[in-house]
């Protein structure tokens, strides 16, 4: 008879081999975004589809179920937060989710969302929601089937949310988002009524891309991204991807007449990247060495992008270097004016261009709508109207077209439902993390003014990175901060920063 330890090793060995494939799949996709010759995409799709099938086959291999079944009753599973216990728990969770879906549904969804993205691109170009509506109906139908196959207690959307933010319920998110909205909408109105409009024209001067790239490299290196174990490349859509335990690639785009796109985009992706680089490499691709949830991941990117990157003390350290990189654009600009420009708050129509404050209203709208679509309180045909109503209500704006409204994001066409809320969920937690880090490390501004980001990175490494999936997102948050998730840290920090800028 085989010992639990041997059984555990077989299971891990199987997963480690699968990880060789998933890392390869990630390389195929990274290369597609950054280097692939234009005529090579058809063959690349064939490769990606083939590997998706192989990976699925390995993940649903009945032996995985057998090993997990054997291990469940052994001492290795006893402590759910230990390396072995969390491995068994999380692999069982993944196995259940994979095997509960009928193969036909998986394939139908893959095909539909692949076509769906093409149709969405066309519909957005033509500003024609009706062109996309039939496909979106089909996609949402399949997502409901997916939710039913997975099972849920309260509502179908729970099952979808759980894919990205494990063990998190719709009702909890709805209640926190509601409280956030109730505080945030008046703050944004107060800013609009202040009569102060922070000018951003200095950010729209000419910023040579080569110098932007050098600055982005310097900044991400200084905050702690390790270039011996990662890279920075150029792409159309910024992203961060992990191609192995020591190979994290962040990708950004350069707009030669807007400073913020590449700079804050790179800080954001570097925040994701530092999380990946800080995971335990000896457990690569296994739960103790995997990121906890999308919300926790986003807390890391938002923390470095906004809570560090848009902070006065960061720029007290960093502004001189920045002026040296862009003498023509910035030599006549005082630090205070630069700092004001990068912190302007103003309602806008497009999520990916939104500021730190109003961004979350964009997310709340998407969360509310997709939840209603899945739970059956909203029909696709009524979606554009509902979208525009909500923008009017929360942001005081009416989208002049569906292209600038309901058709702006790729997510739904790609079958990503339950994904949007993790952006704001992570943002809220990032603020709670900064409060806790301040308690543990003292005044962060004293460190940042000296360009010393290492204590914060080390603190995150100990408290977040190195814990992988040992704890559920909720457990992890409570272990680090001692608190449940709320919007209060976020709102307080935001108000403290904006009050002097807008004379609130």
Which residues make up the interface to a second copy (CB under 8 A)? 17, 20, 23-24, 27-28, 31, 35-40, 42-44, 46-47, 50-51, 227-231, 233, 243-247, 284
- Our CB check for a second copy shows the closer of 36 and 105 to be 36
269 is catalytic: yes
**What's the rounded Cα separation, in Å, for the pair 220 and 236?**
19
Shortest distance, CB of residue 132 to a second copy, whole angstroms? 30
Decide: 320 and 49 in contact? Cβ < 8 Å: no
Cα of 107 vs its chain's centroid, Å: 26
- Our CB check for a second copy shows the closer of 24 and 74 to be 24
- Our CB check for a second copy shows the closer of 123 and 274 to be 274
Shortest distance, CB of residue 47 to a second copy, whole angstroms? 5
- Our CB check for a second copy shows the closer of 223 and 476 to be 223
Cα of 316 vs its chain's centroid, Å: 28
**What's the rounded Cα separation, in Å, for the pair 498 and 304?**
18
Q: Which residue has the tokens 């072995």?
A: 84
- Our CB check for a second copy shows the closer of 52 and 335 to be 52
Shortest distance, CB of residue 230 to a second copy, whole angstroms? 6
For residue 412, give Cα distances in angstroms to 113, 135, 359, 370.
Answer: 9, 10, 18, 9
| Tokens matching residue 157 | 């959307």
Which of helix, strand or coil describes residue 232? strand
Among residues 397, 394, 396, which one has the least CA distance to residue 369? 394
Contact residues for 316 (Cβ-Cβ < 8 A; gap 6+) = 335, 448, 449
Which of helix, strand or coil describes residue 45? helix
Give the number of C-alpha atoms closer than 13 A to the C-alpha of residue 209, restricted to the C-beta side: 8
Q: Is 300 exposed, middle or buried (0-12, 13-18, 19+ CB in 10 A)?
A: buried
- Our CB check for a second copy shows the closer of 20 and 171 to be 20
Shortest distance, CB of residue 70 to a second copy, whole angstroms? 26
Contact residues for 402 (Cβ-Cβ < 8 A; gap 6+) = 127, 128, 129, 384
Shortest distance, CB of residue 13 to a second copy, whole angstroms? 12
- For CA atoms 198, 491, 353, 366, give the dihedral sign: negative
Shortest distance, CB of residue 18 to a second copy, whole angstroms? 10
Shortest distance, CB of residue 380 to a second copy, whole angstroms? 37
Give the number of C-alpha atoms closer than 13 A to the C-alpha of residue 65, restricted to the C-beta side: 10
Decide: 436 and 130 in contact? Cβ < 8 Å: no
Shortest distance, CB of residue 71 to a second copy, whole angstroms? 25
Which of helix, strand or coil describes residue 290? coil
- Our CB check for a second copy shows the closer of 40 and 446 to be 40
Shortest distance, CB of residue 218 to a second copy, whole angstroms? 18
When computed from its CA atoms, the radius of gyration of the chain, rounded to whole angstroms, is: 23
- Our CB check for a second copy shows the closer of 230 and 287 to be 230
Alpha-carbon dihedral 51, 56, 62, 64, rounded to 10 degrees: 90
**What's the rounded Cα separation, in Å, for the pair 61 and 98?**
10
**What's the rounded Cα separation, in Å, for the pair 242 and 276?**
7
Count the neighbouring beta carbons within 10 Å of the beta carbon of residue 45: 13
Q: Which of 269, 276, 298, 305 is catalytic?
A: 269
- Our CB check for a second copy shows the closer of 50 and 398 to be 50
- What's the residue count for the chain? 504
**What's the rounded Cα separation, in Å, for the pair 73 and 89?**
12
Shortest distance, CB of residue 59 to a second copy, whole angstroms? 16
**What's the rounded Cα separation, in Å, for the pair 289 and 293?**
12
- Our CB check for a second copy shows the closer of 233 and 324 to be 233
Angle (CA) 482 485 487, round 5°: 125
Catalytic annotation, residues: 269
């Amino acid at each position: 008879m085989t010992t639990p330890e041997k059984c555990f090793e077989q299971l891990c060995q199987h997963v480690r081999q699968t990880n060789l494939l998933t890392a390869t799949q990630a390389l195929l996709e990274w290369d597609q975004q950054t280097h692939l010759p234009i005529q090579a995409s058809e063959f690349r799709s064939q490769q990606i589809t083939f590997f998706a099938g192989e990976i699925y086959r390995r993940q649903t291999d009945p032996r995985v179920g057998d090993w997990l079944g054997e291990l469940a009753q052994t001492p290795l599973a006893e402590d759910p937060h230990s390396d072995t216990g969390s491995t068994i728990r999380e692999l069982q969770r993944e196995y259940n989710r994979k095997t509960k879906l009928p193969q036909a549904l998986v394939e139908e969804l893959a095909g539909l969302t692949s076509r769906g993205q093409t149709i969405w691109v066309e519909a957005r170009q033509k500003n024609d929601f009706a062109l996309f509506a039939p496909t979106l109906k089909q996609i949402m139908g399949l997502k409901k089937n997916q939710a039913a196959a997975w099972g849920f207690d309260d509502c179908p959307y729970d099952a979808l949310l759980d894919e990205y933010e494990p063990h998190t319920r719709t009702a909890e998110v709805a209640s926190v988002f509601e409280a956030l909205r109730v505080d945030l909408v008046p703050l944004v109105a107060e800013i609009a009524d202040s009569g102060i409009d922070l000018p951003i024209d200095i950010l729209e001067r000419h910023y040579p891309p080569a110098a932007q790239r050098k600055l982005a490299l310097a900044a991400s290196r200084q905050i702690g991204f390790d270039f011996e174990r990662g890279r920075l490349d150029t792409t159309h859509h910024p992203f961060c991807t992990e191609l192995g335990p020591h190979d994290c690639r962040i990708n950004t785009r350069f707009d030669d007449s807007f400073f913020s796109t590449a700079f804050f985009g790179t800080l954001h992706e570097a925040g994701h990247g530092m999380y990946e680089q800080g995971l335990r490499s000896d457990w690569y691709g296994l739960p103790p060495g995997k990121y906890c949830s999308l919300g926790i991941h986003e807390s890391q990117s938002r923390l470095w992008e906004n809570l560090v990157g848009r902070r006065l003390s960061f720029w007290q350290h960093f502004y001189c270097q920045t002026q040296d990189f862009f003498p023509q654009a910035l030599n006549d600009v005082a630090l205070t004016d630069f700092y004001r420009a990068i912190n302007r708050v103003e309602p806008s129509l497009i999520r990916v261009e939104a500021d730190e404050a109003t961004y979350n209203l964009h997310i709340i709208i998407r969360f509310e709508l997709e939840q209603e679509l899945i739970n059956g309180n909203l029909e696709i045909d009524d979606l554009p109207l509902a979208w525009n109503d909500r923008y009017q209500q929360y942001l005081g704006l009416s989208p002049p077209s569906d292209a600038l409204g309901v058709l702006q994001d790729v997510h739904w066409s790609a079958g990503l439902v339950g994904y949007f809320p993790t952006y704001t969920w992570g943002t809220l937690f990032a603020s709670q993390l900064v409060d806790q880090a301040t308690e543990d490390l003292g005044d962060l501004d004293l460190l940042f003014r000296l360009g010393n980001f290492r204590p914060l990175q080390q603190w995150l490494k100990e408290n977040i990175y190195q814990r992988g999936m040992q704890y559920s997102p909720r457990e992890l948050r409570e272990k680090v901060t001692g608190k449940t998730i709320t919007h209060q840290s976020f709102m307080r920090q935001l108000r403290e920063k904006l009050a002097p800028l807008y004379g609130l």
